[in-house]
Amino acid sequence: MKVLVTGANGLLGQHLVQQLLDKGYTVVGTGKGDARLHLAGYDDRYQYRTLDVSDASDVQEVMDEEKPEVVIHAAAMTQVDECELHPEQCEKVNVTGTALIAADAELYAKHFIYVSTDFVFDGEQGNYKEEDDLKPISYYGFTKMQAEAITESSTIPWAIVRTCLVYGNILEGTRSNIITWVKDSLDQGKDIKVVADQWRTPTYVEDLAKGIVLIVEQQATGIYHISGKDLLTPYDIAIQTADLLQLDKSKITKVDAATFKQPGKRPPKTGFVIDKARRELGYEPVTFSEGLKKMLSR
């Protein structure tokens, strides 16, 4: 079975490509620019293609030539502040891009999977279930909500995977995440300020990829919350990281979100109830401490 993955250069994309290949799938990874992940031993089952998801002719050409049976759309503009400052570009990538990918997926594929975010919620409630009302408070969240609506209107079987604060090992050339930022900052002796009034269920990237692979294998449809199981603040995450690495946690200052003047609003409390994914998919994530140990031991 051939699976096409958009956003293959990203943290999730790289791990997803690797896990799909390990499961025996033929994989086409796509992304902007050159391939960041270089895989040995999969020459007959993996190829990378440059793709701008917001370019209709580009999307049509790749889909027509590859004819994937499953499409996993993970490409997105995800920097909350950049989306707020550049809404037209954000909409072009997150909304128009999803519409183009979904429309051409309908011509060839039998399953379309869209990767979304906890930022489709306002964060007033926390511990969200799949059926809870969407109320984004940032432009980023708004475009992801629009893309979910596009996915739900697909004429082929679809699934939406919402996830939350992804962390994990950087394979090749991807951006840093909260763990690597804390580690690198403390290694350099920097003082850092970390918010303690926002709550998330941080997701180990290998668990997220595993959850998506389960959806592919079971041809599951509908909305699934795929995240970790521990509700933590970024400050909690920073302290645990420092403790594990025996770094100087006195360099970490606890602050609230109002300390930072950011263009894009962050929901104060999200976090997911993952009972549906456990029940229907057999998904079970590691604890945050386990994920942290796995990440930092590699």
Judge whether residue 262 has pLDDT over 90: yes
Query: In which domain, by residue range, is 68 found?
Result: 2-167+202-228+270-286
Position 173 confidence tier, pLDDT thresholds 50, 70, 90? low
Q: How far, in Å, are 25, 70, 128, 277 from residue 220 at the CA level?
A: 17, 12, 20, 10
Tell whether the model's pLDDT for residue 259 goes beyond 80: yes
Q: What is the pLDDT of residues 130-150, one digit of tens each?
A: 999 999 999 999 999 999 999
Residues above pLDDT 90, as percent of the chain = 92
pLDDT at 177: 85
Q: Within a domain: residue 239?
A: no
pTM score above 0.85: yes
**Ordered DSSP codes for 264-292:** S---SB--B--HHHHHHH---PPPHHHHH
Read off the pLDDT of residues 51-105 as tens digits, 9 standing for 90 and up.
999 999 999 999 999 999 999 999 999 999 999 999 999 999 999 999 999 999 9
pLDDT tens digits along 10-58: 999 999 999 999 999 999 999 999 988 888 777 789 999 999 999 999 9
The H-or-E segment that residue 115 falls in is strand 111-117
pLDDT of residue 45: 94
In-domain check, residue 26: yes
| pLDDT at position 212 over 70 | yes
Q: Dihedral angle at the C-alpha atoms of 179, 184, 189, 192, nearest 10 degrees?
A: -40
Count of the separate structural domains present in the chain: 1
Query: Considering the domain boundaries, does residue 217 fall inside one?
Result: yes
Q: Is residue 240 part of a domain?
A: no
- Residue 252 counted as domain residue: no
Q: What is the mean pLDDT of the chain?
A: 96
Across 236-247, average pLDDT: 96
Contact 48, 88 (CB under 8 A): no
Q: Which of 295, 261, 37 is nearest to 177 (CA)?
A: 295
- Is 218 part of any domain? yes
Q: What Cα–Cα distance (Å) separates residue 192 from each residue in 182, 235, 243, 277?
A: 8, 10, 15, 35
What pLDDT, on the 0 to 100 scale, is given for residue 174?
Answer: 60
Q: What is the CATH number of the domain that holds 80?
A: 3.40.50.720
| 233 in a structural domain | no
- Decide if 30 is inside a domain: yes
